[in-house]
Amino acid sequence: MRRLARLLPLLALVAAAGCSEYHYYDISVNFNLTESNGGFSVVGNEVGSLQVCIMTVSGADSGSIRMGPFAQGLPVPSNGQFGIVEFSTFADSGNLVFTMSCYDDTTTTPDCKTGEGTKTVAASTASTITDSLTVNKVAAGCQ
Amino acid sequence: MSPLAPFRKWTLSAGIVIALVVTLPLVGLPRVAHADLGDSKSTTADQVEDNDKPKDPSLLDKKPADAAVAQQQQAPIGPPFYEKWQFWAIAGAVVVGAVALIWGGSALYHTIHGGDVRPCNPDFQMRCFGEGQ
């Protein structure tokens, strides 16, 4: 009994620390190709001129990934289907805000940003959460 | 007439004094011979006490502590500790225990903190980021 009593604080500490579990947020990214609705022009394959895209996460967790140029799905296919970007986190509550910013130059200055999309996802205890995000054209860029 | 005592009377007194001077030491010598000098069992009360050597024989007996010390001093000196198998058994157990504790602790820490992250799907084209990546 005394040994058990001595172990109780350790067990309580482990229980208080909890066991972290990864949660994966698979965000399917598409580019809006409807120019009349704030999308990129299909003529001239406007999405194909994008050099760099940066996805940032804020809210319950934070992170960012820089993609491109000529890697990780860039340049964007002409059909606008970029694919899935996966974010791993221990967060299982609150909201995760995914923001995708794309630039038509490797210098990711604000004047070179041409596309942006945002999606807020409620964090969950599920192992994998899937959602989608659409990138719209926001500016002409610097090229 | 001489004012001094007669020669015959002076001679008699001197003889008595000389006799006493010679006799008294002879009478006292046997007592000195029997005096307690520490090696006699005499308990004569009128001798000077010998404080250096107790008369109680039990005080001079060897105590158990003396025996233990003597035994320890006489104990045979064995081989060095590092030549004993018990030393290496304990040392090995300590090393193995330390390694197991470190390995187990790190494994437990890793497990508590989510373990290994899922590998990035090749279809995602290295577009995985966040915790564990």
Q: What is the pLDDT of residues A67-88, one digit of tens each?
A: 999 999 999 999 999 999 999 9
- With CB atoms and an 8 Å threshold, state whether B127 touches A84: yes
Determine phi and psi for A7, rounding to 5 degrees.
-75, -20
Q: Do A88 and B133 touch (CB under 8 A)?
A: yes
Q: Which comes out higher in pLDDT, residue A19 or A83?
A: A83
Asked if the Cβ–Cβ distance from B112 to A71 is below 8 Å, we say no
Q: What is the dihedral of CA B78, B79, B81, B82, to 10 degrees?
A: -170
Output the pLDDT for position A44: 87
Positive or negative: CA dihedral A58, A60, A61, A65: negative
- Torsion (CA) A21, A118, A35, A105 in degrees, nearest 10: -90
- So where are chain A's domains? 20-137
Interface list for chain A against chain B, based on CB atoms closer than 8 Å: 14, 17-22, 24-25, 55, 57, 61, 63-65, 67, 71-73, 83-90
pTM over 0.80: no
Give the chain B residue nearest A82 (alpha carbons): B124
* Better-scored residue on pLDDT, A46 or A17: A46
How is residue A130 annotated by DSSP?
E
Give yes or no for residue A64 having a pLDDT over 60. yes
Distances (CA, A) of B6 to A50, B1, B14, B16, B17: 164, 10, 13, 16, 17
| A65 or B17, greater pLDDT | A65
Contact A106/A92 with Cβ under 8 angstroms? no
Q: Phi and psi for A88 in degrees, rounded to 5?
A: -105, 140
Q: Report residue B46: phi and psi, to 5°.
A: -90, 10
Q: Name which of B48, B47, B55 is nearest B31 in CA terms.
A: B47
Strand partners, A82: none
What token pair was written down for A90?
Answer: 């221990």
First-to-last alpha carbon distance for chain B, in angstroms, is 150
Q: pLDDT below 70 — which residues of chain B?
A: 1-15, 17, 22-55, 59-60, 62-64, 75-76
Contact: A20, B126; criterion CB under 8 Å: no
Q: List alpha helices for chain B, DSSP H.
A: 7-33, 64-74, 85-112
Buried/exposed code over B43-75 (b: 16+ C-beta within 10 A; e: otherwise): eeeeeeeeeeeeeeeeeeeeeeeeeeeeeeeee
| Contact list, B131 vs chain A (CB under 8 Å) | 22, 61, 63, 88-90
**pLDDT computed for residue B13 by the predictor:** 65
Mutate to test the interface with B, among A21, A24, A99 (most CBs of B within 10 A): A24
In this prediction, residue B115 carries a pLDDT of 83
Handedness of CA A66, A72, A73, A75 (dihedral sign): positive
| Phi, psi torsion values for A21, nearest 5 degrees | -135, 135
pLDDT for B111 = 83
CB contact (8 A) between residue A89 and residue B130:
yes
Q: Which residue of A has its CA nearest to B117?
A: A22
Fold of A20-137: Immunoglobulin-like (2.60.40)
Min Cα distance B69 → chain A (Å) is 40
Query: Tens digit of pLDDT for each residue in A82-123?
Result: 999 999 999 999 999 999 999 999 999 999 999 999 999 999
Nearest CA in chain B to A70: B125
